[in-house]
Every structure is written in structure tokens, then in C-alpha cells.
Amino acid sequence: MYRVKNQLNWQEALEQGLTGRNITIAVLDTGIAAHPDFNGRIIAFKDFIHNKGKYYDDSSHGTHVCGIIAGNGSLSEGKFCGIAPMANLVVGKILDENGNGTIESMDRAIRWLIENRQVYHIRILNISIGTQMEDEATTKAIMECVEKAWNAGIIVVTAAGNGGPKLMSISSIGVSNKVLTVGCHDGGFFGTREDLCENYSGRGPTRFSLKKPDVVAPGTDIISCNGKIRKVRNTYQNPYVAKSGTSMATPIVSGACALYLEKYPSAGNDEVKQRIIYSARDMNENWTKQGWGMLDIQKLLQ
């Protein structure tokens, strides 16, 4: 996260004193673990898989995503803090321990978020989930599901998926023209490594001829909160872990949205999306790979 923030000019947020404070981000994923870096900012949890009452994460994927958004880095002296380290989190568990879920679970979760949007002041929804290429009817059902949240005024940030580099490989969750679809690009930081997530990040256009992704952000070897953290006596073991994929790039953009909303709290979801894409840094890549370009937090906040 330290190198990611350097790449994206996060220093601008620090200089302006922006941390995502009082902004609530909903995350639909595998859940969230009781990690010290969240420091009492998990304000609600709903389990749509096993109906458990207490928050948990039997996969670790959701915890990692939440750490990228809003971990405060307390166990790393700030080194691995997230993009919006004071933001609040509302977490819906819609995936099981293997990362599998259903449209029905996602639909129930989104309906619950909309019903409780005012209660928890939810402004952003992060969906770091990839889907296989679906038939047109299923794709439209998924689109309608995520668009419910957008139409309710929530900024929906979705992953482009890891189905690239072939064209038209954007995840079904990210094909809507309303949502903010995030691909992965590490901006040359790792040189020509073959396993870079930009080499398998979902590519546009969509089957509906829409230009996607909208923007890209780093997603290779992102170190964030580990859902399998353990406390032995007074020491935490394995507090952080590295993961790669568009699932990691997506919460970076969600965190940036929180910073923008903290500065401009009256901004609507359309305005935030426009500011994200119009302030992105062109990387001279094909549109199908980079969209409008790399997220640039300094330009976004200026």
C-alpha cells in the first residue's frame, strides 16, 4: 500500500487532511475479520450465506479488500494503511469460504443496503467480485441488480474481473454503463514480470459495445489485512498478506471516492464517477485495457 499510494499521488490527501472520516463504504464479499486495523469502524455486518450474527471471514478475501479501503495500518506503524483509513465499513457476506455465491444472495444484500442506506449513511458500494462469462439473460439480471444500488444514489465500484487479456472479458458485474468499473495496471512498477495482473485484467468492450474498464489502479502483490490473523498472548501473527487481481485494484478506487466525498460531501454518484475518470492519468495504452487511465488522487482532489 505504501508504494501504491506513492504511485497514485495519495500525498495530496494527506496534505489536505482527508482520511475518509464519516464516509461509509459498503463491501459485498466473503466477510471481514476482527482485525485491529479496523479499530471499531465496522458499523454493520450481515451474513447472507450462513446467517451468522457476528462478523467473520472464512476466506480472507473480504478482509484484504476492506484493509485496502479503510485499514488504519495500526499493526504496521502506518505502512500498510488503506486509502481512506478513517472510513466506516458496512460488510455483507455474499460469498462462501471458496469465493462462490449466487445472484440471489447479491440481490438480497443490495436490497438490504438500500433499505439501510440512511441508517448507516452508505455512500459507496465496493464489489470486488469476478464472474464467468454469462449468457445474456444472466448478465442483464446482474446488471439490474447492481444498478438498483446506483439508482438509489450509491456509488458502485466494481472489478473488471481477471478474465483477460482477451477482448470482451469484463466481468458481468462491471458491464453496466452506470457503475465505475476498475481494471488493473501496475504502471511499470514491476517491469516485465509475466504474472502482473494487468496481463489478465478484464478487457473491454462489453458485449453491449460499452467502453470499459473506466479506470485502472495497481493490483499486483498488494499487502493488506489478513483475515487469518491470530493473536498469541499479546502478539498478532500474520497480520498482513499479499494478494493480486482486479479485486485489489477496485477498493483502491473506492477509497479514493471516499476521500472525494469527504471533501465534497454533497457530490452525487454521477459527479464522483466523472471526477474519477476525467482526472485519470492517460498511460498511452489501448482503451480496452486502461479505460480513461490510471487513478490519480492528486488530480482528483484538486
Residues with catalytic annotation? 29, 61, 247
Query: Cell 486509502 maps to which residue?
Result: 83
Q: Which residues pair with 125 in a beta bridge?
A: 26, 156
Which amino acid belongs to residue 192?
T
Rounded to whole angstroms, the Cα distance separating 128 from 225 reads 15
For 233, the grid coordinates are 498472548
Q: Give phi and psi for 46, each to the nearest 5.
A: -140, 125
Amino acid identity, residue 186? D
> What is Dmax (Cα atoms) for the chain?
56
Q: Give the integer Cα–Cα distance in Å for 149 and 94.
A: 16
End-to-end Cα distance, the chain: 22
Task: Specify the length of the chain in residues.
Answer: 302
Which of 169, 177, 158 minimizes the C-alpha distance to 254? 158
Sole residue written with cell 476525467: 278
H or E segment to which residue 118 belongs: helix 117-120
